């Protein structure tokens, strides 16, 4: 697959929970490999729901989703983990493991992938420096602040240099200076070819980044 081809494609996608109204409707979206978009819109517009579709934790009520050249409707359960390993996710609720240290949480995706500690030690420490947590490597999540947990979650999501990074309000718990620092981290990752979608309400961050914006409004996506 060429770098200019769409690695994610949504065609007439709709999503509803139970018998309620559609949260997403007639969503058409192509994400080119190596692109960087912000996803924004009013509260309740469906940003998190769209990210859940892209991380394959929800199935669309209707429409077609293709990722990395594969139709998700025909993807077997056995092959689902292989697709997810190509995706990094920053969740709003962090989802850190409390029994692992900051270092161990960040290194977890590499350990699961079978890498040896000596092969990833330097990369983990480099990221700890990037997110301003070099002194917190041996600290456990319960004693971290919300902003610190957010930075651990971001470092864990990018440590594998995924093909696709989905970030749900990744700078919502950090100060403006750290938000810009994290934005530079995302930009560096993007330079290496990672396709990035950042869901955010932070208009200042969007203005600083000068990247294309996907606006979710009334369940539909508008390009800006």
**176-207, pLDDT tens digit by residue?**
888 888 898 999 999 999 999 999 988 888 99
Total-model pTM: 0.90
The percentage of residues in the chain with a pLDDT greater than 90, rounded to a whole number, is 71
Confidence check: pLDDT of 91 > 90: no
8-state DSSP, 5 = S
Cα angle: 117, vertex 57, 85; to 5 degrees: 30
Confidence check: pLDDT of 147 > 50: yes
pLDDT single digits (tens) 22-47: 999 999 999 999 999 999 998 888 89
Q: 33: closest CA among 11, 2, 71, 65?
A: 2
Confidence check: pLDDT of 93 > 90: no
């Amino acid at each position: 697959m060429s770098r200019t081809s769409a690695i994610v494609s949504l065609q007439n996608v709709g999503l509803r929970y139970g018998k309620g109204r559609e949260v997403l409707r007639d969503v058409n979206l192509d994400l080119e490999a190596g692109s960087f978009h912000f996803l924004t819109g009013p509260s309740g517009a469906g940003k998190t729901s769209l990210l859940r579709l892209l991380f394959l934790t929800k199935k669309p009520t209707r429409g077609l989703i293709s990722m990395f050249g594969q139709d998700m409707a025909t993807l077997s359960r056995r092959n689902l983990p292989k697709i997810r390993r190509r995706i990094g996710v920053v969740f709003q609720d962090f989802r850190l493991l409390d029994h692992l240290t900051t270092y161990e949480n960040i290194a977890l995706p590499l350990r699961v992938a079978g890498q040896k500690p000596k092969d990833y030690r330097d990369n983990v420490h480099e990221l700890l420096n990037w997110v301003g947590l070099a002194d917190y490597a041996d600290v456990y999540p319960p004693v971290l602040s919300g902003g610190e947990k957010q930075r651990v979650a971001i470092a864990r999501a990018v440590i594998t240099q995924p093909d696709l990074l989905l970030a749900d309000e990744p700078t919502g718990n950090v100060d403006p200076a750290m938000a810009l620092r994290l934005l530079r981290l995302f930009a560096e990752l993007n330079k290496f070819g990672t396709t990035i979608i950042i869901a955010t309400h932070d208009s200042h961050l969007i203005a600083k980044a000068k990247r294309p914006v996907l606006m979710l409004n009334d369940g539909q996506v508008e390009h800006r």
